[in-house]
Structure 1
Amino acid sequence: MKIAVYVKRSSYINDATSFYVSLIASSTDSQYVGVITNLSDLSGVDIVVTVYSIDAIYVKIKFPRKKVYNWYQGISPEESKMFGLSRFIYIRRTISEYLSLKIVDGAFFVSQAMKEHYKKKYGSRAPSLVMPCFNKVIGKKSDFINNFKKKEKNKFVYAGGLQSWQCIEETLKLHRGIQDLIENTSLTFLCSDSEKANELAKKYMIKNFETKYVSLEDLDEELQKYNFGYLIRREHIVNKVSTPTKLSSYLANGVKVISTDAIEAFNIIDSINIYRFSSNDISANKEIVNFINQDISPESLYSDLSSIFEKHFCISEYQDKIRDFVK
């Protein structure tokens, strides 16, 4: 038995998705042959993992007897509305989602909220497995503590894109309030569009600001330099069902998280290293200053974070679940 990931272009598998799809494909009892971009090349494959609804449909049309499992990264029609795309695109994506959920042999959802959304919208009864998006795991205690002790004070980071739905301006406005309350802060954006990032930083008069781009392979080493990471989202169905990978990236490297409550799946994670506040009131206040100034030993930090990864981002546990699910 052979298993492969199918996408039209290899570029569709980026830094944020490569870990997830590789985990799915390599966790079965079948031989993983890699990413395939030519539909005809799937002839020798028994199980196909797709990451887009339309691709799952194409595979089933050409190879109706093959088992197809689709990973629903996000609710695509609602995302198109959020991005201001046309109603035609919304309808087309809705049809693709609906049809794919009818024909796939299994669906990977990133949250229970996503599963409930599809059940409510389409009456979906597709066999499914809920697994949050994550791309990092916590390392050895000794390495973690040594790296933590090297951190300079009050270094903030944001890792991700600059799209408006990622609340970039809200993040910068919040940081501006923090820098007015706490001395000697710095902010680094880990993104590819440095020109736009610098323009926005100037707009909000952010001090000690810089931008960098680092690959997924170098992300750990870079994040280990920072104390706090931003994960700001507005109240929206797209955010409600999501599980951004940056949470695992931050926490695995000892970066305490400043987040809003818009991401439903993450609200159940109780941690001294996550400051969570209402997405209706994104502003600096006394509580966030107390969070930033609290003194936590690296040993306590590691213990807390280890329990989070064991409970919510455990690779071995999901490997077992995927193996049983695909069987």
Structure 2
Amino acid sequence: MHSILIVTSRNVVTPGGEFSLIKNRARALEASWGFSSEIISLCNTALNVADGDEVFGEGTYIRRNFMNPVALLSGYEALIKEAENTLQKKKYQAVLLSGAGMLRYIDRIKRCVSSETLVCADVHGYFGDGKLLAKDESFVMGAFHTLAAVVEEHEQKQYLKRFDRIFVVSAAYRDFLCKVACCRPSQFYIVPCATGEIPSFTEKESAEYRHLYRAKYHLADDEMLLVYSGGASSWQCLPETVELYRALKEKRRVRLLILSGDKEGILAAIEGADDVMVDSYRPTELPEVFCAADFFVMLRADVPTNHFAYPNKFLEYAAARKPVIATPYVYDVAQQIEQAGVGILFRNDIDKLVEDMNGFDCAPEAFDAVVVQNAFQTTLVPFASDLNEAANSAR
């Protein structure tokens, strides 16, 4: 019996958030438990990815122009037929349906597998995420993602309860789906996108990197450094981050460093903020730079997309063993910050925030525990156990 078949309409041919969760999860399942994954993917020809250049690697890729409705619909049919043919030839321990437009095919998939095969829905986040994306896009792409959000809402409410298991990234979204989609808590695996990697710096190395980068940015010993790492999308609350920084500057000595691969977009978003430092590094260099930080900043707005998310950025910050200043609107993150004491929740009281910053204290082990708690090697244990049980039943 083969391990896992992933059937998806998500973008797994170029780097991005969707790809990272699917690929890193598959890697962890193989590395830790020996469960290999095969993929059948519907991909957009507009991405201009040639055969063999897909970042996910080996798989079956059905190419269609997503902006052509007829071509897109034919692509879904070709995708599901390819999955049916594959399932009739091979037996798998689990099948994952992932992406907009995929959940409706549960009955066709279930007709192709035995009762020992787990048919799972791979739900990355809130079904209204596309509407938030649309705010930063052209009219055409915005309309496309808004339509995708409508489809996902219908499918999650209509079909999720019929799946054997459901992957989500947060406990908050599990609870939400139990209310609006009549799902059961026992159906869920809560698996954020988290590799569990912690920089292996010695105490001496961390101190050296801290000295190096604080000297680069001309920071005085009594200046606190706030670090924001990310892009300029509206949902990342960059203007609000600058506003918070300026409010803090009136209370104590503090500087703000923004790290991003999109320096042009960042500078446009914070136009006129000459007192903000902006720089760019390769992802592999960021852990070194993070040593210079005193606090990280991760603000999010009070909207459902954030309520049910789990930004892997929080775990990057936790891995650096430095506290995070966050708004309380990413529910799972807020809960972990309060329980583990690895940051400060900002509730629009600047004096309270300054007081908390001045008195903040947390052992490095608490940050490491949060990273381990959310690592694939921890969160995938229930799924791995179910796969082993399915394999034993099939013998």
TM-score (norm 1): 0.80
Query: Once the 2 structures are TM-superposed, how far is the Cα of residue 314 of structure 1 from its aligned partner?
Result: 4.3
Secondary structure of 1:3's partner? strand
Segments of structure 1 that go 5 or more residues without pairing to the other structure are none
Secondary structure of 2:363's partner? helix
In structure 2, the residue matched to 1:324 is: 385
2:131, 2:353 → 1: CA distance? 33
Change (3 A) 1:28 1:106: farther
In structure 1, the residue matched to 2:168 is: 109
1:114, 1:71 → 2: CA distance? 13
Residue deviations 1:131-180 (CA, integer Å, cap 9, x gap)? 3343443345x626631563235332222332222222211211222234
Greater RCO (CA < 8 Å, at least 6 residues apart): 1
1:70, 1:221 → 2: CA distance? 38
Change (3 A) 1:82 1:210: closer
Q: Which one of 194, 214, 229 corresponds to residue 263 of structure 2?
A: 194
Larger Rg belongs to: 2
1:16, 1:224 → 2: CA distance? 28
In structure 2, the residue matched to 1:165 is: 235
Secondary structure of 2:227's partner? strand
In structure 2, the residue matched to 1:288 is: 353
Secondary structure of 2:102's partner? helix
Q: Which one of 202, 215, 232 corresponds to residue 143 of structure 1?
A: 202
Change (3 A) 1:185 1:88: closer
Change (3 A) 1:101 1:59: closer
1:294, 1:28 → 2: CA distance? 43
2:359, 2:207 → 1: CA distance? 15
Secondary structure of 1:185's partner? strand
| Residue 69 (1) aligns with residue 120 (2) | yes
Do the aligned residues in 2 keep the contact of 1:229 with 1:250 (CA within 8 Å)? yes
Residue deviations 1:30-71 (CA, integer Å, cap 9, x gap)? 333464334437825723334414235458646742544232
Segments of structure 2 that go 5 or more residues without pairing to the other structure are 40-55, 63-78, 136-141, 215-222, 391-395
In structure 2, the residue matched to 1:130 is: 190
Do the aligned residues in 1 keep the contact of 2:106 with 2:163 (CA within 8 Å)? no
Query: Once the 2 structures are TM-superposed, how far is the Cα of residue 236 of structure 1 from its aligned partner?
Result: 1.8
State the number of aligned residues: 315
> Which amino acid is 1:305 matched to?
F
In structure 1, the residue matched to 2:301 is: 234
TM-score (norm 2): 0.67
2:18, 2:297 → 1: CA distance? 17
Query: Once the 2 structures are TM-superposed, how far is the Cα of residue 109 of structure 1 from its aligned partner?
Result: 1.5
Change (3 A) 1:14 1:145: farther
In structure 2, the residue matched to 1:94 is: 153
2:193, 2:150 → 1: CA distance? 26
| Residue 175 (1) aligns with residue 245 (2) | yes
Residue deviations 1:163-203 (CA, integer Å, cap 9, x gap)? 2222222112112222343335131232x432221122234
Query: Once the 2 structures are TM-superposed, how far is the Cα of residue 313 of structure 1 from its aligned partner?
Result: 1.9
Change (3 A) 1:15 1:242: closer
Percent sequence identity over matched residues?
16
Secondary structure of 1:157's partner? strand
Residue deviations 1:90-111 (CA, integer Å, cap 9, x gap)? 4322223234414433211222
Do the aligned residues in 1 keep the contact of 2:25 with 2:193 (CA within 8 Å)? no
Do the aligned residues in 2 keep the contact of 1:148 with 1:254 (CA within 8 Å)? no
1:190-269 to 2 correspondences below 5 Å: 190=260, 192-203=261-272, 205-212=273-280, 214-215=282-283, 217-269=284-336
Q: Which one of 67, 75, 80 corresponds to residue 131 of structure 2?
A: 80
Secondary structure of 2:309's partner? coil
Superposed CA RMSD: 3.3
Change (3 A) 1:144 1:182: same
